[in-house]
Amino acid sequence: MRVKICGITNLEDALICQKYGADALGFIFYPKSPRYISPEKSAEIFKKLSPFISKIGVFVNESADEVNRIAETAGLSMVQLHGSENPEYTKKIKYPVLKAFRIKDGFDFRQLDQYSDCSFLLDSFSKEAFGGTGQSFDWQLIPENLRNKIVLAGGVSLENIEEIYMETKPAAVDVSSALEDSPGKKSHSKIKKFLTKLKGTS
């Protein structure tokens, strides 16, 4: 099971994630997020990272042209769309797309079929924020045929990662607030414990 650590805002946190084996890092280019980072600053961080770690930019209802521009400026590996972007929109993106859906009771998973050439991330629905809430949703809602294909986000933590690995079995997990001292500042000890435990269960 692969792991993406999201909300990276500084080089020190990025290097710790890389050191302990994170597969991907998430950089949020949504200005209203407390974990926002500028494309220019993220590009400087990328220069110090291994080319083998994925750099994923997170966008919320941004214009497709701007997403493509930032992706090129920063040197992204993939674009994560965390807003209400429709299937026509995703076709305009020139980079691999990870499309996020915020799940609540009654969510119609059939809408994922409308998106082609996308990977999918499932997060918790919140009226207050587009992500990074630390709240989980009922993972039993995920159809069995999707579970090993999606990235699971929302409330993923050291306490439940073994349960996720054993029962939900997603392709990857996305972690942010559970590994922080404060929004945008990671806890290096929590990162080490989480990634060490994850490696132990994989």
Please tell me what DSSP assigns to residue 123.
Answer: E
Our answer to whether residue 6 is catalytic in this structure is: yes
Our answer to whether residue 17 is catalytic in this structure is: no
Task: Give the bridge partners for 123, in sequence order.
Answer: 102
Q: Three-class SS of residue 121? A: strand
Residue of 13, 118, 123, 174 marked active site: 123
Alpha-carbon gap, residue 186 to 130, rounded angstroms? 19
Residue of 6, 13, 17, 174 marked active site: 6
**10 Å Cβ neighbour count for 13?**
22
Give the tokens for residue 149: 């294909």
| CA separation, residue 92 to residues 28, 39, 57, 83 (Å) | 20, 20, 16, 15
Contact of 183 with 7, CB cutoff 8 Å: yes
Output the DSSP codes for 125-189.
--SS-SS-------GGGS-TTTGGGSEE-SS--TTTHHHIIIII--SEEEE-GGGEEETTEE-HH
Active site residues: 6, 123
